[in-house]
Amino acid sequence: MFNIRKIQEQVLFNAVKSASDEETAAKIVYGQNDDNDAVWVKSSMSRLENCFDESEVKKIRMNCQCGYGMEEKLALVKELVAASSSMEEFGSLEKANAAGMYCEEGELYLQFPFCPCPMLAGVDKLDTYTWCQCTTGYSKVLFEQAFGCEVDVELLKSIKVGDERCLMKIIPLGRIWK
């Protein structure tokens, strides 16, 4: 059986451990007996934020991306790259728009009208963007593989923090179209 909570616990544990040590990772991931997923998400993120500064928290959470469905999404983005010759053309393709991608003033954005994270299904509202940074890590991996260059991803909005949509800016740091 697919247990997203156990997967997320292990991914978070490994990301924290690689940034610090096993004791800190255990404290953050298993610090309280949080049987409820929503409570665990909020309390583990609070413990993470209390142990690390904002840039380290972002780096740790970006390393928590699960990779779920990556192959299918990667195939789509590669198809869109092959079908276009510029960021503007890429962002105006119907399939790109249907997948939540669009280009505005030469910048690529990825948006979702709903929260795509199954761990947040029972969470009404998050206090910070910390949990959502895993999606920036996921998007970084996805777009780096599809674009063939390093990519930065900036989280701009999150439904679970109270915004009207989830929104990320995708920033390629190299040439995509030769």
- Of the candidates 21, 27, 22, 19, the one whose C-alpha atom is nearest the C-alpha of residue 59 is 19
Mean pLDDT (the chain) is 93
- Of the candidates 167, 163, 173, the one whose C-alpha atom is nearest the C-alpha of residue 100 is 167
What's the confidence (pLDDT) of residue 68?
77
- Of the candidates 37, 30, 14, 12, the one whose C-alpha atom is nearest the C-alpha of residue 123 is 37
Per DSSP, 157 falls in state E
What's the confidence (pLDDT) of residue 2?
61
Q: How many helices (H) and strands (E) does the chain have?
A: 8, 4
Task: Kindly report, residue by residue over 152-161, the tens digit of the pLDDT.
Answer: 999 999 999 9
Say if CB 103 and CB 29 are below 8 A apart: no
Percent residues over pLDDT 90 in the chain:
84
Mean pLDDT of 1-8: 79
Q: Which helix (H) or strand (E) holds 163?
A: none
Task: Kindly report, residue by residue over 14-47, the tens digit of the pLDDT.
Answer: 999 999 999 999 999 998 777 788 999 999 999 9
